[in-house]
Chain A
Amino acid sequence: MTNHWIDIGNSDCILIMGSNAAENHPISFKYVTQAQMKGAKLINVDPRFTRTSSKADIFARLRGGTDIPFLGGMIKYILDNKLYNYEYVRHYTNACFIVGKEFSFKNGVFSGYDPKNRKYDKKAWAFEMDAKGVPKMDRTLKDSRCVFQLLKKHYSRYNTKLVSQITGTPEADLLKVYKEYAATGATGKAGTIMYAMGWTQHTVGTQNIRTMAIIQLLLGNIGVAGGGVNALRGESNVQGSTDHCLLWHIWPGYLKSARASNVSLAAYMKKWTPKSNDPLSANWWQNYPKYTVSLLKSFFGEKATKENDFGYDWLPRVDDGKTYSFLDMFDDMYRGKTKGMFCWGMNLCASLAHGNKNRQAMGKLDWLVNVNIFDSESASFWRGPGMNPSTIKTEVFSLPCCVSVEKEGSITNSGRWMQWRYQGPKPLGNSKSDGDIIMELGFKLKELYEKEGGPLPEPILNLKWDYMTNGMYDPHKVAKEINGYFLKDCTVKGKLCKKGTLVPSFAWLQADGSTSSANWLYCNSYTEKGNMSARRGQEDAVNKIGLYPEFAWCWPVNRRIIYNRASVDLKGQPFDKKDWVVKFVGDVKAGKYVSNKWIGDVPDGGWYPLQNPDGTAREDAKYSYIMRKHGHAQIFGPGLADGPFPEHYEPVESPLTKNPMRNNDQMLNPAVSIFTSDMDVYASASAKYPIVCSTYRVSEHWQTGLMTRPQPWLLELEPQVFVEMSEELAKEKGIKNGERVMVDSARGSLACTAIVTKRFEPFKIMGKTVHQVGVPWCFGWRWPESGTEDSANLLTPSIGDPNTKIPETKTFMVNVRKK
């Protein structure tokens, strides 16, 4: 989230699209309801009428996988009717940048495409630079090759008539949504988006979110209270685990994983440290070397020296151009390339797309270590439906871990709030905290490498591993390590910093090995003043918009709304006079600011505003989007794998035979890579699988249901896997409400109970009737004990977004038949 949960209550218009907040984030509705009570409008866009829709002022349905046409139509509507926030767009976004002549878009493909490798050369999308190496700009937005004009041209094809034919949304409903949401472009109004896996789990997942980000920038909705782009995380600590590098492509704090071609620390720094020649661009990532070296010092302690590149060579590097996502891991495993796996706090046999492939793949492992609070479909994969235990060689070890309330530590919520939790009851039986299990594992590995040696022993032997107190894992030691220490007496910012003290914030980190920090973004969370995340102050900030700055702590540096300097005009005065976020209150003399003071939230860099009260420009100012190389938010995004503007492509499995978007011959996103094992099969425009299907969750079960299906009260509410379908489809198939039916895809079959409902309706797509159904993925054969229920992921395809490799489980094709 750019903003945070409480802030949703400040919104004037809430769009819930790509999520089902009332059901899957029920507490969020506290704040949605607060906003509605103050007069905010709630818009919900979904293929299915949900519990969220039941509370919406406007509900519009769309065919799964057509969010880009829906939102692209909104971009065109905003531009055609000049509803954008002109001052915001021309000053704070790259709408004014001039794009190089090489850029083009023809027949569904951007320039620079290599069809053989399904990859783009992004150099073809570069900006034009002036003699100093600063992007050329036209702040009037009139240049025919400026981003604003290219945006207009790109979305000129997304007229409501065509959008309606693609999405199946009636034109009148499209216009209702566009009109209501675009009204938040007015100065002082804020619109927010609440999205989740309904947007990400597509082969165009990243671009779905990009499309909305463009809308938010056009309307001036980023950085303001009640605005932002807000990802609702699916689990209480997904934000925290991502920040600390759960994913393969990053190190903690979103530093890049080293590539094979980054042959030395210097080469790594050169590759990933952005350079800007614009004195007005803060280009915050120029601090990359400080964060990297502090991370390496945290990993390897005194063993990391300037002479050995601070141990850079001891960290694994990923091959250039190769990806290592869950889909890749299981493809390798299926091909027999993987020996063993730790499956830790996950239930991949139920949660990951193409369950049948994953269950087969695990049978090819020599060993599997499963760490969880219960037995699961994954730990017991070898005795699941269709498996023959006598032919499976995998040795399975199950380690019981304790549950969240039995241990101390922090979680980071969707709003980036790091919140400390104390320990309730002690761990049950011989279960242990994850921290204790990891620590012991580390000690054992060190012992074995010391005793027996082995290839590449340095990363393990040199690893600093001192997070125990009295023989137990100490979460405070880890939290302090994450924050970071001064490793020697040194003078920073003219102040003497004593060796062994905690670093006050990331602005103090150094690239010379004198500081450590296991995650620069969290530097400031545990300082000499104490554990900031354990604070429980109840006082709001001066602007009274629900920031509560002394309750817990949030990254970065306790800034509750990021990009907040875009919420003020060039003179530092808020666009929204009532719900303002930050405000410049420095002294003025003769029309000039003479002292520097911001109030409200922690400002995104505390420089002077770009202009003095008399309208003269200041040279000591910085642009508001400090994390972007050129200081401007990106309407044109030249960094993504699949194009600088979002474009509509059909899902890998579609009911259509050709892309219905004009000037687009590409069915599938051209940058998507396709797995080729014998189990990776797809059925697009197939008479055998004519129905669009989506997976989702329910309020009553948590993720795969592993923690809730063994709970009788919750199982009582949602006892069985179901397929929801329209009355029209049920009639066509002769299916009665409540009867057991089969749902088939090209990859698997699932027995479900039919829920025949008015909440699904057939779509009219390009003149044809298209049905959509939905199946939840929160079931598995292990619980309930009947063994008759299983996961919707037996049906889903193993294909992913080209940027993230998140699987496309929100749109694929199935058939439904009587059992």
Chain B
Amino acid sequence: MGGKSFFIDTSICTACRGCQVACKQWHDLPAEKTINRGTHENPADLSFDTYRLVRFREVVVGGKLQWLFFPEQCRHCIEAPCLETAGDPGAIYRDDKTGAIIFTANTKRLNADEIIEACPYNIPRKAPDGTLAKCDMCIDRVENGLLPACVQTCPTGAMNFGDRNEMLALARQRLAIVKKKHPKARLLDPDDVRVICLVTEDPKLYHEFAVASSLAFDISRVVALKRLIRPLTNLAARL
């Protein structure tokens, strides 16, 4: 499989949040009015104006305090439930070259809540008019030979981007090294997504949606189900 992928090594992320600001800057997204909620994490959630958010979690594991950081963003699924659910290439499509899942302004005509519900990572967010937004892999930068803004700004090398094979190789290589210090280290859903995260602890400790939330069934089954019922729902919509 070709295309592009991210490799995010959370073991070396310092949560400087340069990536979060770079994302807003490149996409020219407005700042949200926030307050300090008793945490450094801000804004409180992803939104139509926030595609990327670094989660901060203080946990005690084995009697040792840890501060876990997890940059939340669209995973650009290989089989993307949002795309399948929409069934509307004018609204949600996969870029052939990179594999990026792209939302267009036409998402306004979709059933937004259904798309959001379909996402195993709880990523898309809607504007008051129902238009959906999320990370676009900086497709405009990538097409012009630049790195995504978040990767470009990362000081430690936690954020990486490149050909999928290279990123997978890098992820496996790093995992082998990190495992020596952190035996619980693992890659999150590496075969299903184009944003491969390396974590050192139970992913649930980082964020509720760090791994796919597909409860009883995995992503491909959701997608299969959607494909099965789409003709019916489309029919229902036309009635």
Contacts and interface: CB of A to CB of B under 8 A. Distances in A.
Interface of A: 22-23, 26-27, 29-30, 33, 36-37, 49, 51-55, 698-700, 712-720, 722, 736-739, 753-759
Nearest to A711: B31
Given A27-B155, A718-B40, A713 B14 contact: no
Contacts of A755: 36, 38-40
A54 B68 CA distance: 8
- Which of B24, B31, B38, B177 has the most chain A CB atoms inside 10 A of its CB? B38
Interface SS of chain B: helix, strand, loop or mixed?
Answer: loop
Contacts of B32: 716
Contacts of A756: 38
B162 interface: no
A735 B15 CA distance: 27
Interface in B26-68: 30-40, 42-43, 58, 60, 65-68
Contact of A758 (B17, B31, B60): B60
A54 B66 contact: yes
A43 to B, nearest CB: 15
Contacts of A714: 21
A757 B56 CA distance: 12
Contacts of A29: 14, 16, 155-156
B157 to A, nearest CB: 6
| 5 nearest A-B pairs in the assembled complex, by CB-CB distance | A738-B38, A712-B31, A737-B38, A54-B67, A716-B31
Nearest to A22: B14
Contacts of A26: 14, 16, 18, 155
Contacts of A722: 36
B239 to A, nearest CB: 45
16 contacts: A26-B14, A26-B155, A29-B16, A30-B155, A33-B157, A51-B69, A54-B14, A698-B40, A699-B15, A699-B16, A716-B32, A719-B34, A719-B35, A722-B36, A755-B36, A759-B67
Contacts of B24: 713
A738 B37 contact: yes
A681 B156 CA distance: 44
Contact of B42 (A52, A712, A719): A719
Given A53-B67, A54-B67, A717 B155 contact: no
A714 B32 CA distance: 10
B106 interface: no
B58 A759 contact: yes
Nearest to B17: A717
B58 A758 contact: yes
Nearest to A30: B155
B35 A713 contact: no
A756 B42 CA distance: 16
Contact of A718 (B12, B42, B66, B156): B42
Interface of B: 12, 14-18, 20-21, 24-25, 30-40, 42-43, 58, 60, 65-69, 155-157, 177
A719 B36 contact: yes
Given A27-B155, A30-B157, A755-B39, A51 B67 contact: yes
B147 to A, nearest CB: 16
A23 B38 contact: no
A49 B40 CA distance: 13
A699 B36 contact: no
Contacts of B14: 22-23, 26, 29, 51-52, 54-55
A338 B78 CA distance: 70
A52 B12 CA distance: 11
A405 B31 CA distance: 24
Given A54-B67, A758-B65, A22 B16 contact: yes
Contact of A712 (B15, B30, B37, B177): B30
Given A716-B33, A717-B34, A719-B36, 12 more contacts: A22-B14, A33-B157, A51-B69, A715-B31, A717-B42, A718-B40, A738-B36, A739-B38, A753-B35, A753-B38, A755-B38, A758-B65
B36 A753 contact: yes
Contacts of B35: 719-720, 753
Contacts of A758: 58, 60, 65
Contact of A759 (B34, B42, B65): B65
Contacts of A36: 12
Contacts of B157: 30, 33
Contacts of B33: 716
B38 A754 contact: yes
Given A716-B34, A716-B42, A738-B37, A23 B21 contact: no
A36 B156 CA distance: 11
A40 to B, nearest CB: 12
A49 B67 CA distance: 9
A30 B156 CA distance: 4
Contacts of A715: 31, 34
A33 B37 CA distance: 31
B16 to A, nearest CB: 4
Contacts of A55: 12, 14
A263 to B, nearest CB: 53
Nearest to B29: A713
- Which of B14, B24, B25, B157 has the most chain A CB atoms inside 10 A of its CB? B14
A698 B40 CA distance: 10
Nearest to B58: A758
A728 to B, nearest CB: 14
Nearest to B20: A717
Given A716-B34, A717-B21, A757-B58, A49 B65 contact: yes
B36 A720 contact: yes
Contacts of A49: 65, 67
B7 to A, nearest CB: 15
Nearest to A717: B42
- Which of B16, B32, B66 has the most chain A CB atoms inside 10 A of its CB? B16
A755 B36 CA distance: 8
